[in-house]
């Protein structure tokens, strides 16, 4: 019991580390550039992952997971890093991250459609609540305003588009992993591939010297540690801890992330933003509850 509690606490530490990532990633991109900073970040994070999660031989991976898992994971990380890096302001970076946090609700919908996950009608208000929350976040303090949302997205369609694409891609990755990974964890390999893609993009764009400073190095190490140690801690929690507690806690990441980001980036957020973030969390929890209750009913019926 003590080991289970300790593993669960370790998993909860991962949630805190991941919640700090948006603010730290934005800080790195401001100091080292959107692409160069992301390339450095994923390179250092790969080292942390090698030390914590370790390496799995390629021959041990199911081929389908190795190929499609690599493509989807790397695509998602590129969307996430570049959407935050190319945001025009710190506040916009936080808004962009909230669009990305549609992925929990989208993942559950994908599991229902492609993995035949049983669900209840709660899935409908849950998904709509998440979308309404994004509407509040993008409304620019005007509530759910179509004009405000459109103006916001038009100001930087690249970042907002990448964030939404990332949410869809991560939902696809989670759905594929559940079916094809067979217990294997390719995160270390995927991070190395992500860093390689970012370095290629950086060099193709002309490269240039990265302006390292004490602040840049500190932010880089902290962000890489949050990534690498976060995945390592989550691995321990999922394998040996209370998965139900961890799954429920993970749905609060959007609010925690916004709280860390506003402190790290010194960017005040409106009441409408916080309401929207809470709605995104609430929608994801409703979606999760819709599938959990049906699983519980099925288990009771089988018993």
Counted residue by residue, the chain has a size of 303
Residue 97 predicted with pLDDT over 80: yes
Q: What is the pLDDT of residues 55-88, one digit of tens each?
A: 878 888 888 889 999 999 999 999 999 999 999 9
Q: Which residue has the tokens 């459109």?
A: 150
Residue 269 predicted with pLDDT over 90: no
Q: What is the pLDDT of residues 22-56, one digit of tens each?
A: 999 999 999 999 999 999 999 999 999 998 888 87
Higher pLDDT, 44 or 253: 44
Mean pLDDT of 255-265: 90
Mean pLDDT of 15-21: 91
Q: How confident is the model at residue 239 (pLDDT cuts 50, 70, 90)?
A: low
Domain carrying residue 288: 2-302
Q: What is the pLDDT of residues 194-227, one digit of tens each?
A: 999 999 999 998 777 788 899 999 999 999 999 8
Residue 291 predicted with pLDDT over 90: no
pLDDT of amino acid 142: 60
Task: Name every residue whose Cβ is closer than 8 Å to that of residue 279 and which is 6 or more positions away in sequence.
Answer: 129, 130, 132, 133, 136
Residue 247 predicted with pLDDT over 80: no
Degrees (nearest 5) of the Cα angle 56, 166, 265? 100
pLDDT of amino acid 237: 81
Domain count of the fold of the chain: 1
Distance CA 184, CA 205 (A): 35
Residue 296 predicted with pLDDT over 60: no
Task: For residue 100, give the nearest of 301, 277, 300 by alpha carbon.
Answer: 277
Task: For residue 3, give the nearest of 232, 236, 229, 235 by alpha carbon.
Answer: 236
Residue 297 predicted with pLDDT over 60: no
User: CA dist 66 to 56, 97, 184, 190, Å?
Assistant: 11, 27, 10, 9
pLDDT of amino acid 303: 41
pLDDT of amino acid 299: 47
Contact 162, 79 (CB under 8 A): yes
Q: How confident is the model at residue 287 (pLDDT cuts 50, 70, 90)?
A: confident
pLDDT of amino acid 184: 78
Q: Which residue has the tokens 């140690």?
A: 229
pLDDT of amino acid 210: 85
Distance CA 150, CA 9 (A): 41
pLDDT of amino acid 300: 45
For residue 115, how many other CB atoms are within 10 A of its CB?
12
pLDDT of amino acid 141: 59
Q: What is the pLDDT of residues 115-173, one digit of tens each?
A: 677 778 888 888 889 888 888 888 765 666 677 778 888 889 999 999 999 999 988 88
């Amino acid at each position: 019991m003590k080991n289970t509690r300790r593993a669960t606490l370790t998993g909860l530490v991962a949630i805190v580390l991941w919640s700090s990532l948006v603010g730290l990633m934005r800080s790195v991109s401001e100091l080292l550039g959107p692409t160069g900073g992301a390339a450095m970040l994923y390179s250092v994070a790969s080292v942390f992952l090698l030390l914590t999660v370790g390496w799995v031989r390629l021959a041990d991976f199911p081929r389908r997971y190795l190929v499609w898992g690599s493509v989807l994971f790397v695509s998602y990380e590129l969307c996430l890093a570049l959407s935050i890096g190319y945001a025009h302001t710190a506040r916009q970076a936080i808004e962009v991250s909230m669009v990305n946090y549609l992925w929990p609700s989208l993942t559950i919908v994908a599991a229902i459609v492609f993995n035949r996950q049983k669900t209840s009608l709660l899935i409908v208000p849950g998904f709509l609540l998440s979308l309404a929350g994004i509407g509040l976040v993008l409304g620019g303090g005007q509530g759910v305003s179509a004009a405000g949302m459109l103006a916001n997205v038009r100001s930087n369609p690249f970042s907002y588009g990448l964030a939404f694409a990332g949410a869809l891609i991560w939902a696809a990755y989670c759905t594929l992993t559940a079916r094809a990974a067979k217990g294997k964890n390719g995160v270390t390999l995927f991070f190395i591939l992500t860093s390689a893609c970012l370095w290629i993009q950086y060099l193709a764009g002309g490269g240039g010297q990265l302006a390292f400073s004490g602040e840049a190095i500190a932010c880089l190490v902290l962000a890489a540690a949050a990534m690498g140690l976060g995945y390592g801690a989550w691995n321990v929690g999922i394998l040996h801890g209370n998965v139900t507690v961890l799954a429920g806690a993970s749905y609060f990441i959007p609010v925690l992330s916004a709280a860390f980001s506003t402190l790290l980036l010194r960017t005040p957020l409106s009441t409408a933003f916080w309401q929207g973030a809470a709605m995104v969390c609430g929608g994801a929890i409703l979606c999760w509850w819709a599938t959990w209750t049906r699983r519980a009913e099925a288990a009771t019926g089988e018993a």
